[in-house]
Structure 1
């Protein structure tokens, strides 16, 4: 004769324990989720906070010197481990005076005897139309430095903005405005007197 196990009636203590466990589970899950979210946010913003704390105090315009010899003038707004953000950018362009009727050798000799003329160019006027901000790789930067407000480049930028986007006059490396090369006038010559007519033969 098989005896079936008798089911014991559930006591009042056991009935009180299950609701307590189920009510604590949502709070445990919520705490775990909050900890994970805080950890992710701390990881994402750790680099930004550390860079802002270690970033140098910059004001006005800066000159950024690159490894390829190019120099950009602008405002550094963000310094990271891998890049530097530069905006309101200008750079210098070398102007060469080309004269017709000269050979390449003569032109090269004339350019070597003259100081190269430099003009300030605003980034964005190029053919491909770049935006007026640049993200420069840190490995391509030699150094950058603040520019004084009374410096020649800073004054040229101020003059450019004052003129409503018109580039200032070109300057040479010595910082003086080049003289206007007026076309050479031929030297005045006195016409030779006409020869006297020969006497008629009789």
Structure 2
């Protein structure tokens, strides 16, 4: 009986196994990327910010991308141009009360300044890594920021049939530089940005 049951379970599992993807469609090999202009994929692009809250804990929140583009030629990475807009008025946290406070005039004043924007000014590539320097604008204040980026992968998206690729990156900013100095120095000034950026062929 046990042998029969095992055989039935094995037979039932065959279709599921046969339908499973052979592997991830994206490859970490940058050679899979072709030259062109790619649109930001808002559904898969996030910026997570983290800072020290009163010395008691680390506190995080997240912004999503509203739009943007990246023009790149793998043979000339230094010529790449990145332009991304983030929806400040759609930020997310684990507390609605905290979210509303961040959107208020104490912090982002999201009703007046609903978006933030990053525009690259230089790209220095080293293998699958790059330093992307550019201008970050928050609340109409623009400051230089450098992103330490790592290429994740590129390939054809099996759903859209378009070439997709992405990178992850980190950066550090001081919130006081952008008029976000509420509760200093009780809440830390240094903010770490963890970036997951995704792009799709236009």
Asked if TM exceeds 0.5, the reply is: no
The structure with more helix, counted as a fraction of residues: 1
Larger radius of gyration: 1
Higher strand share: 2
Q: Normalised by the size of structure 1, how large is the TM-score?
A: 0.27
Provide the TM-score with structure 2 as the length reference.
Answer: 0.27
